[in-house]
Structure 1
Amino acid sequence: MAFRCASRPPGAVLALMVLGLALAGLAAPWRAAWADSVAPAERHYEIAPGPLAQALNRFALEAGVVMYYPPELAQGHRSPGLEGRYTVARGFRALLSGTGLEARRDESGVYTLAPAGAPTTARLAPVTVKGEPEPRRGMYREPRSVSVVTREDIDRIAPRNTSDVLAAVPGVHTSQSRQDPGVSVNIRGLQDFGRVNVMIDGTRQNYQQSGHGSNGQVYLDPALLSGVDVAKGPTSTEGGAAVIGGVVDFRTLEFEDLVDSGADHGGRISMTSGDNAYHFAGSLAAATRLTDDLDLVAAISRKNVGAFEKGERGSKDGGYWHGLSQYTGQDQWSGLFKSTWHLGDAQRLKFSYIGLEAEFDQGSTTSAREGATDHNRVRTDTVLFNYDLFPASGWLDLRSSLYYTRTANDQDRPDKGDGYGAFSVRYETNTVGGTLSNRTSLELGDWPAALMFTYGTEFYHDWTRPRASKESAGDGEPSWFSGPTPEGERSVASLFSQAHFKHANGLELIGGLRYDYFRLEGEGEMYVGREENAPGVRPPYTSYYSDFAVARHDGFLSPTATAAWQLTNPLQIFASYGRGVRPPAITESLMWGSHVGNSFPFFPNPGLEPERSTNWEAGANLRLPNLFRDGDRLSMKAAWFDTRVEHYVAQGPVVNPASVGEGGDIKAFAFVNLDDPVRFRGLELQADYDVGVTFAQLSWTHTLHDLGSGGYDPYPLGNFTGSIPPDGYGAATGGGVLYMLPPRKKGTLSTGVRLFDRRLTLGGRVRYEDNDGRGGTMYEDVVDWTVYDLWASYEPNDALTLRLAVDNLRDRNYAELNGTSYWIAPGRTVTGTLSLRF
């Protein structure tokens, strides 16, 4: 860690901070009493043998202490390393064993290094001890498939939207239309309706809006991010309730991201502009420590992008593939505010707010042949409270959260002259939730092993509030919009526990058990038929509906197990098994109404079975320092995964319960459980190589799909007329079932060089995607592609950074996944960024 003195922040602060100051003053007396009552904390450390200075830096970083010493005092000494649980004092003694040196703590808590037994002297002049934590390095120590996206990764290529942030994560795909700034995340073939838990700072984002794309958009500006954590498959700890695909946590800016170690205030200003309608993206973020107990962070961001030019290389004939891509403009504001109140060394209370407001148009195609189908104003607000209690005890390390998030889209649908009229529509999803977890660490006597228990509970409650009304005369029906995204409520509560055994010989055993309970309630109007009206009467027919109501609940147990072994110091192998459950979502169970134009009705399916997943995984971590030369480092993670989902929920054609005759008299769609399990399996690889002057990062995913026969019950609501389904329905062939499938192959390679004492960085990236020509003749030439990007970064001083990026260097015409279809991506885009730290 680097520590240095810094001045206090300027006197002018936001009025909102006054409340935090008052609270801090009120709490000071009892906070101090609590701090005096705790004992020195023990923590688990893994520090390899090596040069003493390196070991001390690592230990000071992980222990969170300040240490001063002249560099020459540590030269020529080696440390035996550290493995196990230690207090700070015991840890220093073990690290310094055999060196003839000792660590001394003064009355202020600062440690100094001195020869053992030497008399105490005046405090040495400050010398910086600097340790550089690298978040990406930690993922190569985890015996499971996890990935990390850092702020450095985000800054290299200026992201046009949040989807671009995840482009290089193996096993992770995104669904987007480039018209909507939201992102829907797919992990190993699973997405939407909560299969993947996508969070912002640990708060679930469960927004629902039905359409031709995905159903599960998350709205967040990349300018507010400090990084992203991705965990794949089911988990027996926080965030895993009712999840079968994995967990993605978008982490927003914290105090430490903006302020140098030892300083009391800092910030960052960033401005980006470019061609191809990348008009402007700018942000201002600042943090200050008002007192020793209170930290504040605030940030605001603005982005404006327009209708981009499509790539020309490899494009097909026709206006759809050339020229300007209509309705891809977006104008958005976002911001955050955080206050952290340190109640001594053992407690922390935190308040966070994250918000975004975006306006954008959508159209049915990317060309200008038709007007926009709707104008959208999306607003999302998230409020989060965290309380942590971590006294110096192996029995208590308590983390808790309570949050509320709301995402609403006010949509104007103009009269397009088709006789339907104009509509005003609002989609809204609210979520309140929380977590409570504790970690207990146990030493197993004289046995060189440790045992850690993690246990707790989490819950969330969703409720949707759609609204639709007619704004002009016409034959259209508001139920076209409020029915497919229905009103309803769903609650999930979960108890979880996990035991992690770790032996000094490298053996790790992890076992977990989760109990999920869900409850779903809602009602609507089910379409049952229509009657033709007399000639000349408008509308030309009368539709008939029947009321329905749903109220159901159930509970499930889901175990997980992992075994890992450190075969040698650089090589660890691991294997895991996990079960997961995902209850049906509000939309899947309660959807009703009709497709726009009454093309066909949507039916509810109150009896949907929850999805049950079985996940197998086998992999390895490899960490090789000094592979080709002193100071280089190669880290690799490879994993084979196999996921089977029983009762997989998909949308398919069904039969009206009131149909008559062979095939019935109406074609409808509903969510159904497939008869055969859906299976996704494949290989993932990620690697980092760094030698200081040059670096490289690789990710690769190969996914195989087995969708079974696609058969299902075509009578989700039964049938009382004796009609039989037409060809292509249900158990015969599963015709018409809609799947959201990831690319079969996806790869990314980034590499670069650092020059002039790392002031100048030059790099490039190649992205590859192979969908086996899926999507029919319209897309077959553009869904398999290779795209090249370049970037440069120059830091003339520690405060200023200048960046230049070229996205899609060769102006490739290519398409990206958008739910069950594809959408044309931007052509070549050049952007420049100025970033100033203060």
Structure 2
Amino acid sequence: MSALTKGRITGSWLALAIHLGLLAVAAPVHAVEPAAGTAQSAVLRFDIPAQSLGSAVLAFADQAGLQVLFDSQRLQGLSSTTLKGSFGVQEGLARLLGAAPVEYRFTGERQVTLSRVEQQAGALALATTTVTGLHQQDWVYSTPRPVSVVGREQLDRNPPRHAAEMLEEAPGVYSAVSQQDPGLSVNIRGIQDYGRVNMSVDGMRQNYQQSGHQQRNGTLYVDSELLSEVVIEKGATSTQGGAGVIGGVANFRTVEAADLLKGGKEIGGRIRLTSGLGGRSNGTHFIGSSAFAVGTDVWDMLVAASERHLGDYNPGTKGSIGELRTGAAFMPASEERIKHTTVAYSGSVMRSRLLKLGLNLPADQRLQLSYLATDVDYDDVNMMTAEKAQLWEKLGSSDVRAQNVALDYSYAPDNPLIDFKAKLYYVDTRNEQSTLARGINKAYDVTYQTNTYGLQAQNISTFALTELAALKANYGLEFFYDKVRPDSNQAVEAGSAVKASAAESITPKGDRAMGSVFGRLDFDYDGWLNLNAGLRYDRYRLRGETGLNTRTFIIGTTRQIGVPVNYDVDREEGRFSPTFGLSIKPGVDWLQLFATYGKGWRPPAVTETMVSGRPHGGGSESILPNPYLKPERSTAWEVGFNVLKQDLLFAEDRVGMKVSYFNTRVDDFSYMALGVQPPGYGNVNIGSAAYVNNLETTRFRGLEYQLDYDAGFAYGQFNYTRMLGSNKFCSKTAWLGGVTKTQKRPGNRAPVDAMVPDDAANAGVGCSAILGSSEHMPMDRGTATLGARFFERRLDVGVRARYSAGYYVKGGAGVTTSQTGVYPADWKPYTVYDLYGSYRATDQLTLRLAMENVTDRAYLVPLGDVLAFTLGRGRTLQGTVEYQF
């Protein structure tokens, strides 16, 4: 398939003809009639909302499969009209341009040239300037805010096995991954868990959470085979998806019927098969998917399915790995043993099914029903223990099913004031988990289930204030309701304040609803100045029951008794959060400077507030609730610049660059503190933990670099994230207060006269170890890709390097020192090299080959689970066959 049929837009220097003899009052849009039977006469389906004309032309080129040449500077300040429905290319382009003073000419079967018309003494003249071409994702480098995109091309180069691998080339994005758990938890700039990052599929929030060792408190199950792209918005926003968010939005977009029906086709599809090759398959048994679409002017349908079978894999064998978990400091042989041992229980099976039915209604309306189901089977594993004969111990098995149902409606008439979209959705994620008998604990089954009901609606209105000035208003609402319902056959512990088993109370029953209204205004002047301001109002309600057991003395005796304390939680609160932004182009069209400022607000989740019980069903450890946990409040600012320039080194090459510094401050940051002291009589116990608000300010600061260069015959991408600083976590040891002490007459055996407040204990502050991924700031990391294209760009080969600076504390003799905390930092630096190649044998058939970790480097990914300590995959070779029709 050529670059043209992919809808890729390029640019060059144009010799623009000057059209004389036309009346000054003539209509501004004229076209050269195409020859009969050419591609321009095909009827295509378009869906392009009103927006700036340059962006609209980019969308038009992608949907029409055309090459469009235009002068981006001359189109600045112009707006398009809405284009929705089925039209010929000429009619569609004419409708898109509307009354804009722009002329178009077909200069080839699949090439069209746009030029702005000026009025000069009764004639129409065209100014001749440099023409800038846009690639499909160039909007990232012209958007004055922190955004990143992971496209389908990137996913195809090195097909991911674990979902976290999709995000390795996105700056500022991490994942607390364990290779033995296929779930994905997205970390943006050090912020993750409990909805701080909105992880969504096609805009549907994935709010499933299951308590473990606190490295992942929010999990998404998604198959990369069914995705078209991943769009990542960083920080708080005043647009759709930002309710209750302080870290950002990661939206995983699935394939659409329009992706397979380009070029006016009524039937289209693709089949993609991937497998490990030879002795280097390394657990990659099978990854495959198929998608089929059919469509007419009235309706369309997409049916897609994917399946992946992964087995246990071998880690890399070269280089040093962590010492604290492996025991290499005092057992040197253990490091080699771990590197040369297959990672047990890392296999999994994932099956996904996708159905989308679309209906194009009269008056520019569209209705779409979609259903996505993903099933995952995998084993639950205990932490690695280097001292034992078996490194990992199986604890049980998990059978996860995530179902997503959505009804989408859009109304986009030929009116710049209306571009309306609404969504009603339902997400049901449940894990039917079987736990094996272990020690004194009996086997049991538990079902963790989270149901999310959601509603979204927004409209975009564009006002042309003058020929050079435009105002865009984006306003709407969103609502979601989480219903957490665990169920287990595990016995309830005798005397428990909460009438639920340990398995249920650790991920407790509860309900949380959140509603949000938002609005954002963007003022654009002549393409060089943009001012924006937004305001969001969030309101939440949290309901449930929880409790804990306390101790006291029977007055007049020396005997202690247990006293259960129950809390009926019903909390409601709201808050306004503003955002502001400014961007300018300082005299050159290819450079954009920007700055943003915004506030965010995240109320506590069900688990943070009402978790209780013994996490292992017995022992001295206790997780205690905090019904008074405060919402988190964030304040973030960012400065940076974008570069988008063509003809830099070669004719028709292009470079995109985004560099920014970000600084996010979070007040009342919630974390799980160890060594807390519950109400009543007693002492601090290191085994007692509860979610508390940090008394210190929590900061997440750093620098992001993103570069994308393409000269056609060669290309390169680079991204790097540099995190700065560290955090201190302090809280009141008696987080609920109510600690008491005895008042009695002298003598060890004297009876207790009264229980009085222990003022010293109630006022005490602790800055000890915490349990969770926020214990350490994410480490610096980056990727670099270099590639080249041959044989009319049918052959594409390249190399990718992945680097992590690591994070660990160095002691004497080069040994990692002992550290406090459940998750001591133990990530060693590494560089991993990957090779890839693809050959487009025909316009329908593409063959791909990829080798991961060519040097067989042993490594643990940044923020990787240091308890499970599942090293990254060793040298792996896999091949892919893709057929499109």
Q: TM-score, normalised by structure 1?
A: 0.83
Which amino acid is the alignment partner of residue 352 of structure 1? S
Contact 1:773 1:784 in 2 (8 A): no
Which of 657, 661, 666 does residue 636 from structure 1 map onto? 657
Contact 2:350 2:376 in 1 (8 A): yes
Judged with a 3 Å threshold, the aligned counterparts in structure 2 of structure 1 residues 819 and 216 are, in CA distance, closer, same or farther, namely: farther
What's the counterpart of residue 762 of structure 1? Answer: 797
Distance, in Å, in 2 between the alignment partners of 1:60 and 1:222 is 26
> C-alpha deviations, 1:482-536, integer Å up to 9, x for none?
11111000000001000000001611000000000000001134233699xxxxx
Q: Which runs of 5 or more residues in structure 1 are unaligned?
A: 5-39, 49-54, 105-110, 117-130, 532-540
What's the counterpart of residue 333 of structure 1? Answer: 351
Which amino acid is the alignment partner of residue 489 of structure 2? S
Which of 314, 319, 325 does residue 314 from structure 1 map onto? 319
Which amino acid is the alignment partner of residue 300 of structure 2? D
How far apart are 1:396 and its partner, in Å? 1.5
1:668 paired to 2:688: yes
1:85 paired to 2:79: yes
Contact 1:214 1:819 in 2 (8 A): no
What's the counterpart of residue 153 of structure 1? Answer: 154
Contact 1:328 1:362 in 2 (8 A): no
Which of 737, 740, 745 does residue 718 from structure 1 map onto? 737
Distance, in Å, in 1 between the alignment partners of 2:765 and 2:493 is 43
How far apart are 1:286 and its partner, in Å? 0.7
What's the counterpart of residue 785 of structure 1? Answer: 830
Which of 413, 417, 438 does residue 395 from structure 1 map onto? 417
Mapping 1:402-421, distance limit 5 Å: 402-416=424-438, 418-421=439-442
Which amino acid is the alignment partner of residue 237 of structure 2? T
1:837 paired to 2:843: no
Distance, in Å, in 2 between the alignment partners of 1:327 and 1:543 is 42
Percent of counterpart pairs with the same letter?
A: 36
Distance, in Å, in 2 between the alignment partners of 1:683 and 1:707 is 17
What's the counterpart of residue 731 of structure 1? Answer: 765
Indicate the larger mover: 752-761 or 132-141. Answer: 132-141
Contact 2:270 2:882 in 1 (8 A): yes
> C-alpha deviations, 1:690-735, integer Å up to 9, x for none?
0000000110100113313x22112222224148699999624334
Contact 2:396 2:433 in 1 (8 A): yes
How far apart are 1:395 and its partner, in Å? 1.9
Distance, in Å, in 2 between the alignment partners of 1:643 and 1:612 is 10
What's the counterpart of residue 577 of structure 2? Answer: 558
What's the counterpart of residue 119 of structure 1? Answer: none
What's the counterpart of residue 616 of structure 1? Answer: 637
What's the counterpart of residue 548 of structure 1? Answer: 567
Judged with a 3 Å threshold, the aligned counterparts in structure 2 of structure 1 residues 763 and 487 are, in CA distance, closer, same or farther, namely: same
> C-alpha deviations, 1:620-642, integer Å up to 9, x for none?
01112100110110110011000
Partner of 1:594, secondary structure, is: coil
What's the counterpart of residue 499 of structure 1? Answer: 521
> C-alpha deviations, 1:794-820, integer Å up to 9, x for none?
111111111111111111111122467
Contact 1:320 1:365 in 2 (8 A): no
What's the counterpart of residue 286 of structure 1? Answer: 292
Counting matched residue pairs gives 753
What's the counterpart of residue 549 of structure 2? Answer: 527
Partner of 1:220, secondary structure, is: coil
What's the counterpart of residue 383 of structure 1? Answer: 405
What's the counterpart of residue 227 of structure 1? Answer: 229
Distance, in Å, in 2 between the alignment partners of 1:365 and 1:605 is 28
How far apart are 1:59 and its partner, in Å? 8.6
> C-alpha deviations, 1:307-360, integer Å up to 9, x for none?
111111014631444311111010111110001111136111011111101110
Which of 431, 436, 460 does residue 480 from structure 2 map onto? 460
Judged with a 3 Å threshold, the aligned counterparts in structure 2 of structure 1 residues 132 and 150 are, in CA distance, closer, same or farther, namely: farther
How far apart are 1:658 and its partner, in Å? 4.3
> C-alpha deviations, 1:36-81, integer Å up to 9, x for none?
xxxx999444449xxxxxx9x859538x77999xx9xx99x99954
What's the counterpart of residue 204 of structure 2? Answer: 203
Distance, in Å, in 1 between the alignment partners of 2:73 and 2:724 is 48
Mapping 1:644-659, distance limit 5 Å: 644-659=665-680
Mapping 1:558-707, distance limit 5 Å: 558-567=577-586, 568-596=588-616, 597-660=618-681, 663-664=683-684, 667-707=687-727
What's the counterpart of residue 173 of structure 1? Answer: 174
Distance, in Å, in 2 between the alignment partners of 1:452 and 1:745 is 37
Contact 1:315 1:321 in 2 (8 A): no
Contact 1:558 1:580 in 2 (8 A): yes
1:258 paired to 2:265: no
How far apart are 1:826 and its partner, in Å? 1.4
Judged with a 3 Å threshold, the aligned counterparts in structure 2 of structure 1 residues 472 and 794 are, in CA distance, closer, same or farther, namely: farther
Indicate the larger mover: 637-646 or 447-456. Answer: 447-456
Distance, in Å, in 2 between the alignment partners of 1:642 and 1:113 is 41
Partner of 1:235, secondary structure, is: coil
Indicate the larger mover: 132-141 or 390-399. Answer: 132-141
Which amino acid is the alignment partner of residue 298 of structure 1? V
> C-alpha deviations, 1:64-120, integer Å up to 9, x for none?
77999xx9xx99x999546412453694886666xxx8799xxxxxx9999x9xxxx
What's the counterpart of residue 9 of structure 1? Answer: none
Distance, in Å, in 1 between the alignment partners of 2:165 and 2:654 is 27
Q: TM-score, normalised by structure 2?
A: 0.79
Judged with a 3 Å threshold, the aligned counterparts in structure 2 of structure 1 residues 728 and 765 are, in CA distance, closer, same or farther, namely: farther
How far apart are 1:645 and its partner, in Å? 0.2
Contact 1:728 1:736 in 2 (8 A): no
Which amino acid is the alignment partner of residue 372 of structure 1? K
> C-alpha deviations, 1:760-803, integer Å up to 9, x for none?
11111001112332696598775321111111111111111111
Distance, in Å, in 1 between the alignment partners of 2:52 and 2:315 is 52
Judged with a 3 Å threshold, the aligned counterparts in structure 2 of structure 1 residues 361 and 336 are, in CA distance, closer, same or farther, namely: same
What's the counterpart of residue 165 of structure 2? Answer: 164
Contact 2:50 2:419 in 1 (8 A): no
Which of 372, 386, 390 does residue 354 from structure 1 map onto? 372
Contact 1:711 1:730 in 2 (8 A): no
1:302 paired to 2:307: yes
> C-alpha deviations, 1:185-217, integer Å up to 9, x for none?
000110000000010000000001000131111
What's the counterpart of residue 276 of structure 1? Answer: 282
Contact 1:493 1:516 in 2 (8 A): yes
Partner of 1:189, secondary structure, is: coil
Contact 1:184 1:192 in 2 (8 A): yes
Partner of 1:483, secondary structure, is: helix
Judged with a 3 Å threshold, the aligned counterparts in structure 2 of structure 1 residues 645 and 96 are, in CA distance, closer, same or farther, namely: closer
1:771 paired to 2:842: no
Judged with a 3 Å threshold, the aligned counterparts in structure 2 of structure 1 residues 665 and 789 are, in CA distance, closer, same or farther, namely: closer
Judged with a 3 Å threshold, the aligned counterparts in structure 2 of structure 1 residues 718 and 695 are, in CA distance, closer, same or farther, namely: same
Which amino acid is the alignment partner of residue 200 of structure 2? M
Partner of 1:61, secondary structure, is: helix
Which amino acid is the alignment partner of residue 584 of structure 2? W
Which amino acid is the alignment partner of residue 268 of structure 2? G
Partner of 2:164, secondary structure, is: helix
Judged with a 3 Å threshold, the aligned counterparts in structure 2 of structure 1 residues 378 and 529 are, in CA distance, closer, same or farther, namely: farther
Indicate the larger mover: 467-476 or 651-660. Answer: 467-476
How far apart are 1:618 and its partner, in Å? 0.3
Distance, in Å, in 2 between the alignment partners of 1:459 and 1:764 is 44
Distance, in Å, in 1 between the alignment partners of 2:492 and 2:766 is 44
What's the counterpart of residue 800 of structure 1? Answer: 845
Contact 2:671 2:770 in 1 (8 A): no
Judged with a 3 Å threshold, the aligned counterparts in structure 2 of structure 1 residues 640 and 667 are, in CA distance, closer, same or farther, namely: same
Distance, in Å, in 1 between the alignment partners of 2:667 and 2:546 is 28
Distance, in Å, in 2 between the alignment partners of 1:674 and 1:90 is 52
What's the counterpart of residue 488 of structure 1? Answer: 510
